[in-house]
Structures are given as C-alpha cells and as structure tokens.
Amino acid sequence: MADTALTEAMLARFAEAGAARVDAPILLDAETLLDLYGEDIRGRAYVTSDALRGEQMLRPDFTVPVVQRHMSHGAEPARYAYAGAVFRKQERDPARPNEYTQVGYELFARDDPAASDAEVFALFHAALAHLPLRAAMGDIGILTAAVQGLHTTERRRAALMRHIWRPRRFRALIDRFAGRSAVPAHRVALVAGTVATEAPHTGLRAPAEIAARIEALREDAAEPPLAAGQVALLDALLDVRETADNALSQLRDIAVDLPAIGAAVDGLSARLDQVASRGIAPETLDFEASYGRTSMEYYDGFVFGFHAAKRADLPPIATGGRYDALTARLGAGQAIPAVGGVLRPDLAAQLEGKA
C-alpha cells in the first residue's frame, strides 16, 4: 500500500535525523491518561478493564508512552521515531476511521527550544513538500501567558487555564468574568442563599464539598468584573490570524499593553528565525493564535499542523507541538523540554491519489 511506503520513508528520514525506533503497547494504563486529561478522554478513546489490570485504554496516540519510556531511562538529548496503529472514537463522523496509523518523531533536549521546534517542524515540512498542503502554526504559551497576566483572582485564572483547550467554555468564562453574560438563575439563587429543600442528600459530592463550592461562587460573585481594556487585549490576541511574519508584528504591538506575553512573543520570534534558517520563509506560513486548542491537551507551547488546501473534509495530515509540562507530570517531578509531531500516511496517500 502507498501509505506503507510513506511510513517507511518517514521512518528512514527520522533515522537520518538521529532518531531511535521505539514501540509502545497497544493497551495503556487508563488511570494515567485519565489523570492527565480528566474524564473527557473517555469520549475520545476506547476503555476496557479486567480484574487484574484494572482499566486499560486502547492507545489514543504514542506521545504519553514515549515520554514515560524516556523519563524512566532515556539519555539526553534524545530523538525517537515510531509507527503503529492508534484508536479514536469517531461518533460525530462515522465516515472517519477509528483505527489508523501514526508515524511520529519526538525530540527531548534542554538547549535552544526554538531550534528544537524548528527541527521538528522542518522535518515534516520537507517530507510533505510535494503535497498541496497549508502549513499553520500557533503558540499555546502566548495564550497561557496572557491568562496568567490578567489582573484578576487566582481562582479565575485557574478556571481559564483549565479551559484553554475548550474554546467555547473559555469564551463563556471570559464573558462571565467580564460581566458580559447573564448569570444563570440557579447560580444567583445559590449565591443569594435562597435555595431551600427538604430533599435527602444524594450524589458523589459530600455536603462539605457542596458548601465549599457555594462559598466559592459567592466569593467570585463579589469580585469586580475584568477590566474592559484587558478583555479587549485578550480578544485582540485571540483574533490574530495572519502570515507568521505579520502575526509576529501584531503580537509585538499587543505585548506593549499586555507585557505578560512579552517573553512568549520573543520565543515565537526566535522560532521563526530558526525556521527561516532552514529555508522555510515565515511569510509562507499561517499563524493562528487559537491554533491547537482542540488538540490533545498536553501541548503547552508551539503547535503546528499541515492541512489539505482543497480538502476541508480531511483531518490534518500532520500535527505536533511542544509539551514541556507533560514530562514533569510523568517524570515524578523531573522534567525535560520536549517537542514532537505525527503524520497520517493514509491521508497523505489519499492526496497523492494512491489510496
């Protein structure tokens, strides 16, 4: 099959870049993944269980097991390549396969994150250069820096951080904290203390937890709304969608009034310089400030994707990004900067007309 040939070609390209070939079990410990992503992952992955091993999950991707492998006994720096089946539920679109091959490359290195980002991006860019694709990138780190720089309570910042990967929920929170949306009637009643019932307590939450939650809602209701100027800056940031060189200019302008994003914007600048040094002109790349917010939630910095220019019905042909925080979560407190990407050879074969 054509996608098998592309898989082997990609693995050979990754080996030339210094990657060691690794594999991962098809069944992974579900507890680890649920701890990382919460119960939302159940809606996207296949979960099973038995009395001896507990809950197991069919491999939704390779990144987590590769990180676990590296954090347990990997040298530094390290490059890994892999290929194999992954499994995702497709309840919204049954035409999409729920089992397909991923070919991936992961890089663990402490020095020069901009160079590491550019190395991974350039590998995929070169491998896919013969296909009619649109290359796009973003940076979750710029958005998280903006949230951390808001003049509001730690509780509100934490709520926004939790929902960065859920754009609708994130927007609803911004509107609520800014006083731009009506507070639901049941929340008004809880905060006002006008809810009374003789019904017995049911559910998983203890009465003390419920009381603490009501108190938190009361404290939040007493907080002043987010300043209109801050909301406008956040809106301007989320609206950035330009070629990468022009996006950098817009972000520098926003950083004048939102200095919290300054270091992250400098990181973007260094990354684009590194990309340019590898022969890829930033003006040929799209940058979207919101890009990557519906991907796996471990990305916390640079994100990228390659999309079929004339096939909007297809998922991204390749995706990737930086996930520094994930290595700390899986490394028992130890961490190493890491970035990687994956490619769908079946989709690439479709575009080549060979599927």
pLDDT one-digit tens code per residue, 102-152: 999 999 999 999 999 999 999 999 999 999 999 999 999 999 999 999 999
Residue-level pLDDT at 1: 45
Half-sphere exposure of 208 (CA within 13 A, CB side): 0
Residue-level pLDDT at 93: 75
pLDDT digits (tens, 9 = 90+) for 297-336: 788 999 999 999 888 888 899 999 999 989 988 887 788 9
Neighbours of 283 (CB within 10 A): 11
pLDDT of residue 187 exceeding 50, the answer is: yes
Lookup: tokens for 76: 């530094």
Residue-level pLDDT at 273: 98
Task: Give the bridge partners for 342, in sequence order.
Answer: 104, 319
H helix or E strand, kind and range, residue 135: strand 133-139
3-state secondary structure of 310: coil
Q: Quick check: 10 and 320 in contact, CB under 8 A? A: no
pLDDT digits (tens, 9 = 90+) for 235-294: 999 999 999 999 999 999 999 999 999 999 999 999 999 999 999 999 999 999 999 887
Kindly report the backbone phi and psi dihedral angles of residue 136, in degrees, each rounded to the nearest multiple of 5, phi listed first: -130, 150
3-state secondary structure of 176: helix
Residue-level pLDDT at 281: 97
pLDDT of residue 210 exceeding 70, the answer is: no
Give this prediction's pTM.
Answer: 0.86
Report the chain's terminal Cα–Cα distance, integer Å: 7
Beta strands in 193-234 (DSSP E): none
Residue-level pLDDT at 194: 54
Residue corresponding to tokens 């973007």: 268
Lookup: tokens for 109: 């290195």
